[in-house]
Structure 1
Amino acid sequence: GQGAPLAPVYHAALVRKAGMEGPVAVLNLGGVGNITLIRADGELEAFDTGPANGMVDLLVQSRMKKRMDEGGRLAAAGAVDQ
């Protein structure tokens, strides 16, 4: 894919508002992850990175009978496996 179709434009606006200059990368971890690269000349490149929170939501729905990990409480209770 090309990333979420409107996400790159939104990411560019956020970066401009923050006063940042390229190159900047913005990672969006929604249902499907996507990344936007804002080059120094302002050119945008975006693409999907793969499953993100959608997989966690499905797990919570099937195991806990909840719609999602509300507030990230389940995730915050976990431990890092290094």
Structure 2
Amino acid sequence: MSGTLLDIQGLFKRFGGLIATNNCALDVCAGELHALIGPNGAGKTTLIGQIAGVIKPDSGRIRLAGVDITHLPPYRRVRLGLAR
């Protein structure tokens, strides 16, 4: 396997009084397969939305192949090869 393709560190998102993602971290290397599992309301869709760029994190960082994409809009992420 080569280096990390997707590097997520410290993602946090709050909707009013509800904390949807709290200090989420994930590293995905080439050839790896990951699954997000959990009960309703656990923040799975919020995390995917943050990675795709449709939900802006309150804090944290998302890197794709070493490029910080945290503040890029979804269409720019698609051009880099990341899609929901």
Which TM-score band applies after superposition, normalised by the shorter structure?
Answer: under 0.3
State the structure with bigger RCO (CA 8 A, min sep 6), 1 or 2.
Answer: 2
Rg larger in structure: 1
- Greater strand share, 1 or 2? 2
TM-score (norm 1): 0.24
When the two structures are superposed, what TM-score results if normalisation uses the length of structure 2?
Answer: 0.24
